[in-house]
Amino acid sequence: MASLQEICERVLALISPTKEEVERVGRIAEALKAKASEEAMRLGLEADAQVYGSFAKDTWLRGEADIDLFLRIPAHVKREEMTEKSLKIGKAVVEALGGRWIKRFAEHPYVEGWVEGVRVNIVPCFRVDRGCWLSAADRSPFHTEYVRARLKEGAKSQVRLLKRFMKGIGVYGADIKTGGFSGYLCELLILRYGGFKEVLEAASSWRGGFMIDLEGYYRGREGDAVRIFPEPLIVVDPVDEERNVASAVSLHRLGEFIAASRLFLDRPSMRFFYPPPRMPLPPDNFSRALSKRGTCWVLILFAQIEAVPDVLWGQAYSSLKAISQFLRNQGFNVLREAAWSDEERLSAFLIELDRRKLPDVKLHLGPPVTSKESNAFLGKYLKNENTVSGPWISGNRWVVLLKRRQTDAVDLLKEGLKKKGSIGIRSRIAEAMDRYLEILVDEEILDAYSRSEGLKTFLTDFLSGRPPWLEEG
């Protein structure tokens, strides 16, 4: 077994930017800045063009450099003018350097471009004092300055190791789909604990309600922070005491990071940084594995979801949760569920039940005998063709044994999906389902298995149910 030290050295050799890369990206960044200032002047916009983000902080991973070019604009400029002119500047800048671009949407639109293979984001923000935020992007310059002023030269590679580790175990990214750790959060963790190994050691003993507060804003009133921030991990933003840098981190991603940290410290391995790619099973093997599993799989296939990724995944997760809850309310035992989308053509929800059919009868709990409602209950069930037995009194309540109207999960789901909104399916998902919807159960899923490599991998992953870093390498 290689030591932790050896593993980290091997990883660093793979992720530290090369001298050539640093020079090349630096050259592009300088050219972008110059061109942006020139364009701003031409448009009569007082804009200070600066590069922030991981390139500016020197914490990016080899081959993954993004240049975040911010146009800092005076607070008195109208939002409309800012948006319009900064889009013009972005387009002109990228085109001038021979790149291509598209318009992206966050709080306001911005330009994402590719110049000589490097991704560049050209984002407007207001030049404000700390705390007087006018848009979400206004904090970025402060974040970069905070980290740049404190992160020592040697600590930069520690940030890189932590980022690669988080990517390897699938918890890197504050986007809705991932629900994980941002790059800035990685940097703050290294600032707090000093190094990669130390972060993992600390995480191994994190408990609920854990807080990191580098600037001590909540010193002596830690309980306030726990009340203000509902999220499982609290890292108070050093530049904004009202913001939790870890607000995107979901409970299970936090758990995965903690668990992987412990396992890695116990038995260091390259697979935490570079998990072996999951190979989709050949259809025959998949079919055999599914049929001997003994559970019931329901695959809901539907059209592409027309939305930017954060909206797409936000609506997908909450709609999937609503469908599971709908099935649970009917009495089904949902073991697990997952959403998948190639973000282009096809989307899917997969739900695993312990079995497809409910029992023919159910115990229906009535009102307390002492309540006004008990007369209506008796009136309803004494002469009812669905009454199998009773009513009788159990404890202080009436109960009755009833025949179920519907016992098949798929039939129930088909009914439920006719009234999407009322069971909690969100607008974009409902639209996608209106365009195309197919429900497949168990062996029927094989028909869809080979329609997409992504779907194959998703279904193979679900079969294992195990994070890749748990598989023995």
Task: Indicate the residue among 106 and 393 with the shorter CB distance to a second copy.
Answer: 393
The distance of closest approach from Cβ of residue 7 to a second copy in the complex, given in angstroms and rounded to an integer, is: 20
Task: Indicate the residue among 329 and 375 with the shorter CB distance to a second copy.
Answer: 375
Task: Indicate the residue among 291 and 422 with the shorter CB distance to a second copy.
Answer: 291
Task: Indicate the residue among 26 and 170 with the shorter CB distance to a second copy.
Answer: 170
- For the four alpha carbons of 305, 309, 314 and 316, in that order, the dihedral sign comes to positive
Contacting residues toward a second copy, per CB under 8 A: 205-208, 232, 251-252, 254-256, 258-259, 262-263, 266, 293-295, 333, 335-336, 354-355, 359-363, 368-370, 374-375, 378, 382, 388-398, 401, 403, 462-467, 470, 472
The distance of closest approach from Cβ of residue 396 to a second copy in the complex, given in angstroms and rounded to an integer, is: 5
The distance of closest approach from Cβ of residue 465 to a second copy in the complex, given in angstroms and rounded to an integer, is: 3
Task: Indicate the residue among 18 and 384 with the shorter CB distance to a second copy.
Answer: 384
Residue type, 386: N
Maximum alpha-carbon separation in the chain: 85
Which residue, among 150, 144, 186, 185, has the nearest Cα to 165 in the 3D structure?
186
Distance CA 372, CA 467 (A): 53
The distance of closest approach from Cβ of residue 315 to a second copy in the complex, given in angstroms and rounded to an integer, is: 21
Phi/psi at 281 (5° precision): -70, 145
The distance of closest approach from Cβ of residue 77 to a second copy in the complex, given in angstroms and rounded to an integer, is: 45
**Which residues are bridge partners to 51 per DSSP?**
69
For 128-141, b/e burial (b = at least 16 CB within 10 A) is: beeeebebebbbbb
Secondary structure class of 236 (helix, strand, coil): strand
The distance of closest approach from Cβ of residue 236 to a second copy in the complex, given in angstroms and rounded to an integer, is: 21
Task: Indicate the residue among 26 and 467 with the shorter CB distance to a second copy.
Answer: 467
Which residue, among 320, 386, 373, 397, has the nearest Cα to 351 in the 3D structure?
320
Which residue, among 20, 95, 96, 37, has the nearest Cα to 71 in the 3D structure?
37
